[in-house]
Chains A and B, each alone.
Chain A
Amino acid sequence: MDAPFVYLDHAASSPPLREVRERLPELLAASDGNPSSAHAPGVRARRAMEETRERIASRLRLGRRDIVFTSGATEANNLVLRSFEERPGAVVVSPFEHPSIARAAERIPASRRVALPMRGLAPDLDALRDLLRSREVALVCLMHVQNETGLILPVERVGALIAEASPRTRFLVDAVQSFLRDPIDPHAARIDYLTFSGHKVGALKGVGGLAIREGARGDLAPLLLGGGQEEGLRAGTENPLAIASLGVAAAAWEERGAAWDARFRALSALLRERLAGLAGVSPLPAEGAVPRIVGVTLRGLPAADPVVRMLSDAGYGVSSGAACSTGRPGRRPVPSGPAPSGEASSYLRVSFGPDTEEERLPGFVDALAAALGRAKGST
């Protein structure tokens, strides 16, 4: 009965990749010194960090100086939002955003805070064009892949629209759920600030950052003052160990990302096929979403947390909505299943990682069926 725990919550945090675990002693040894020091251990720490910076910069076709490391994506998102707090011009925020953007945006005076126009579940590009032409907009925020639903949002089209209608407007894309995994070109999509996180791609926790397009750096002001690290944008001794682990993870995704993606598609298809046999369970449509994240609507169940705990007891880790907003009622747009309106429903998120095994999914679906049966009392 000592089956290993089956972790299906990679969108919340993806455990360090095998490649990262294997190289940890070496990375730890290289991070002894302070990256700002001139002696050999300092130089080693700096080199470990700079390798990651170069790898990420070249992947995004940016310069080394354009990559700023922070403690994580929350800090990177805050760094951008807080820089626009007192700047003239409106800040447009989509309803899809993570709390690290949504909450930071609440500090902007209401007169300058504008919700991204929506048509149904998608951004209304015509209305956005009108908005960009009719008033001064300083910043637009749109997530690349939505963390709760896996929905892919049209950042390229929004970027093109900004370039056409309001070239001075800055564009922030929270790419936490797509970074290293889905193609994104900050130049083509005209993204000024792209934020990312290490522990969602199998690096250690405690590192994230932002990529800055040329010319957009001047609009940023640091959150912390101190030793002037990261070109003055992020004071404080860097975290060479976590940053180096991100470099290793990035290399692994470059090498094996295509194969993993094919796995995710197979996993998604298999899971959807199996879920189709369960009453009251509707996966969100596969079209328009990344295959790594399968959102599931549970009809007739007012809260998914008990099911999450039952699944955990049975050896399966998933989450209800986004782990970052557990306990708070989500107000973000989720495509609803065929549930009749008014019926209680809740939401479960299954997300895959490189180590997810196909053989585990049937067991997961059985455990889900048992949990739903127990939670609904249909036994």
Chain B
Amino acid sequence: MKEIIVRYHEIALKGGNRAMFEQRLAANMKGLMWRERQRNHTVRKMYGRLLITANDFDDRFLGMLALTPGVKSFSIAECVKTRDPEEIAAFAKDYFERTRPRDRVFRVRIRVHRSDKHLPFRSGELELTLADRLLGPLPEDSYAVDLDHPDYALHVDARSEGIYLSHERIEGVGGLPVGVSSNALCLLSGGIDSPVAAYLMMRRGAAVDFLSFLSPPYTGEESEGKLVDLAARVARIGGKARLHIAPFTRVQEAIRDASPDRFRTLLYRRFMFRIGNLLADAAGYHAFITGESLGQVASQTVENMTRIGSCANRIVLRPLVGMDKDEAIAWARRIGTFDLSIRPIPDTCTLFAPRSPVIKARERDLEAIEEKLPVERLVREAFEGIAIREVGE
């Protein structure tokens, strides 16, 4: 059997929240194992750690674990159930011989962490014993002890449940487990930014569902497929989600026919929030999430974000607002949405897109156009036409 010791962000724990935090992370990891078809795994709580047990772990599962919000780091470990230092040393010797570098002079550290203080040895004693047994027989020029920058760090976690040996630590994404914060609705386009925004808010504990807009016949079936793929990819990390798809054709045609082209993108987005308000009221979302980044495109100036955001009746979380495009792209690559986002499929937001959009729209200009439109009817019809797709299962 192999085990994964999962560490989480203890600094984020506050007294009474700790149990809830641990339960949520454990439940999320069970969900991840189910989605990744790792059906023979089990997950258990230990003091300050979670432990996943299985015959073996595949790289894909480990990759997903590293992306799971709340996971600070993890190590693949082997366990021996004994309290006898001699047996521990024999097991450690075997483990060391199987895993140590053999092709180079390596910098080694051996560290024992005794979290069960009832064990019949002290950490320092066991460290010395292990150093003697493991390193003693090696030629002196084949290794160097380096406590600060080892490239092979043997870690012995001595617990009441057993003695866990590991030598590699894989960094996780950190943050909080999905579900410990309020749920939120991400406005998902086919672009690079919005899936990243959804993920970053999941990393702060939000449970995220999605709202997208399609304008058939201007957009084809492949546009819906792209949205489903993107939402499903994010949901594969964070757990099952709902993708709401609202019909946007009538809204866009009405705006196109009533508005000079430079205002269209802003007006589309104001309508998207108005439709989102009805959905959030009906389904109980507490926040919106968008992928907006300050100054990235014309609709994302402070002025225009104000004009758009003023139509939302809930807080709009914009985790990318201070990011460069390169940073957003790096996140998109890391969570696996980049290749999906760059598929050249027409996207609702660029429909009838202006050649030179307004940079700083005035509220009264937008209102003057909206006065000519049956806003309430258009919004209600789009809301009532929403189709729901379950993704990430």
Smallest Cβ-Cβ distance to A327: which chain B residue: B344
Q: How far is the CB of B268 from chain A (nearest CB, A)?
A: 14
Q: State whether the Cβ of A160 lies closer than 8 Å to any Cβ in chain B.
A: no
Known: A309-B217, A310-B217, A327-B344. 12 other contacts (CB 8 A): A303-B346, A305-B220, A305-B346, A306-B217, A309-B216, A309-B218, A313-B217, A327-B345, A377-B253, A377-B256, A377-B257, A377-B352
**B residues 192-225 with Cβ under 8 Å of A?**
216-218, 220, 222
List residues of chain B with CB within 8 A of the CB of A303.
346
CA distance A369 to B45 in the complex (A): 67
Report the Cα distance A313→B256, complex, angstroms: 22
A374 interfacial contact with B, CB 8 Å: yes
The answer to whether B218 and A306 touch across the interface, beta carbons within 8 angstroms, is yes
B228-258 CB mask vs A (1 if < 8 Å, else 0) is 0000000000000000000000000100110
Q: Is A379 an interface residue (CB 8 A)?
A: yes
- Chain A residues in the interface with B (C-beta under 8 A): 303, 305-306, 309-310, 312-313, 327, 374-375, 377, 379
**Which of chain B's residues 301-357 have a Cβ closer than 8 Å to chain A?**
344-346, 352
Q: How far, in whole Å, are A172 and B217 apart by their CA atoms in the complex? A: 40
22 A-B pairs with CB atoms under 8 Å apart are A303-B346, A305-B220, A305-B346, A306-B217, A306-B218, A309-B216, A309-B217, A309-B218, A309-B220, A310-B217, A312-B217, A313-B217, A327-B222, A327-B344, A327-B345, A374-B253, A375-B218, A377-B253, A377-B256, A377-B257, A377-B352, A379-B257
User: Beta-carbon contacts of B67-91 to A below 8 Å, as 1s and 0s?
Assistant: 0000000000000000000000000
B254 nearest in chain A by CB position: A377
A379 to B216, CA, bound (A): 18
B192 CB to closest chain A CB (Å) equals: 19
Q: Which residues of A contact B253 (CB under 8 A)?
A: 374, 377
CB distance from A1 to the nearest CB of B (A): 18
Chain B positions within 8 Å of A327 at CB level: 222, 344-345
Bound CA–CA A313/B344 (angstroms): 24
List residues of chain A with CB within 8 A of the CB of B217. Answer: 306, 309-310, 312-313
CA–CA, A379 and B253, complex, Å: 10
Find chain B residues with CB under 8 A from A375 CB: 218
Q: What separation, in Å, do the CA atoms of A309 and B218 have in the docked complex?
A: 8
Tell me, in angstroms, the Cα distance from A327 to B226 when the chains sit together.
14
Minimal beta-carbon separation of A302 from chain B (angstroms): 9
**A318 to B284 alpha-carbon distance, docked (Å):** 45
Bound together, the chains give a CA A327 to CA B345 distance in angstroms of 8
Complex interface: chain A residues within 8 A of B346 (CB): 303, 305
A296 and B252 CA atoms in complex are apart in Å by 27
Chain A min CB distance to B249 (Å): 10
B residues near A309, Cβ cutoff 8 Å: 216-218, 220
Q: Which residues of A contact B352 (CB under 8 A)?
A: 377
A33 to B303, alpha carbons, bound, how many Å? 73
B266 to chain A, nearest CB (A): 18
Nearest CB in chain A: distance from B265 CB, A = 16
B247-279: which residues lie under 8 A (CB-CB) from chain A?
253, 256-257
- For A377, the chain B residues whose CB sits under 8 A away are 253, 256-257, 352
How many Å lie between the Cα of A348 and that of B3 in the bound state? 60
Chain B residue contacts of A313, Cβ below 8 A = 217
CA A374 to CA B249, docked complex, whole Å: 11
Most chain B beta-carbon neighbours within 10 Å: one of A309, A310, A312, A313: A309
- A307-B257 Cα distance, complex, nearest whole Å: 17
For the complex, what is the distance from the CA of A309 to the CA of B221, rounded to whole Å?
A: 10
Contacts of B216 in A (CB 8 A): 309
Closest to A310 in B: B217
Q: Which residue of B lies closest to A309 (CB)?
A: B217
C-alpha spacing A306/B217, complex, angstroms = 5
Alpha-carbon distance A312/B217, docked complex (angstroms): 9
What's the Cα separation between A6 and B236 when bound, in Å? 43
Which residues of A have CB within 8 Å of B345? 327
Separation in Å of the B349 CB from the closest CB of chain A?
A: 15
The complex places the Cα of A375 from the Cα of B257 at a distance, in Å, of: 11
A306 surroundings in chain B (CB, below 8 A): 217-218
Report how far A374 CA is from B345 CA in the complex, Å: 21
Which residues of A have CB within 8 Å of B256? 377
Q: How long is the Cα–Cα vector from A305 to B345 in the complex, in angstroms? A: 11
A311 to B, closest residue via Cβ: B217
- B340 to A: closest C-beta gap in Å: 15
Task: For residue A20, give the distance in angstroms from its CB to the closest CB of chain B.
Answer: 29
Smallest CB-CB A-B distances: 3 pairs: A309-B217, A306-B218, A377-B256
| Cα–Cα, bound, A377→B352 (Å) | 10
The smallest beta-carbon distance between B351 and chain A, in angstroms, is 9
Of all chain B residues, the one with the shortest Cβ separation from A313 is B217
> Scoring B residues 115 to 159 as 1 if CB is less than 8 Å from chain A, else 0, what string do you get?
000000000000000000000000000000000000000000000
Expressed in whole angstroms, the Cα–Cα distance for A327 and B220 within the complex equals 11
The chain A residue sitting closest to B343, CB to CB, is A327
From residue B256, how far is it (CB to closest CB) to chain A in Å? Answer: 5
Q: Please, how many angstroms separate the alpha-carbon atoms of A374 and B344 in the complex?
A: 24
Q: Quote the shortest CB–CB distance from B254 to chain A (angstroms).
A: 10
The CA-CA distance from A266 to B98 in the complex, in Å, is 82
B217 nearest CB neighbor, chain A only:
A309
| A317 CB to nearest B CB, Å | 13
Enumerate chain B residues within 8 angstroms of A379, measured Cβ to Cβ.
Answer: 257
Taken together as a complex, chains A and B put the C-alpha atoms of A379 and B258 apart, in Å, by: 11
**Residues in B neighbouring A310, C-beta threshold 8 A:** 217
Which residue of B218, B222, B344, B345 has the most chain A CB atoms within 10 A of its CB atom?
A: B218
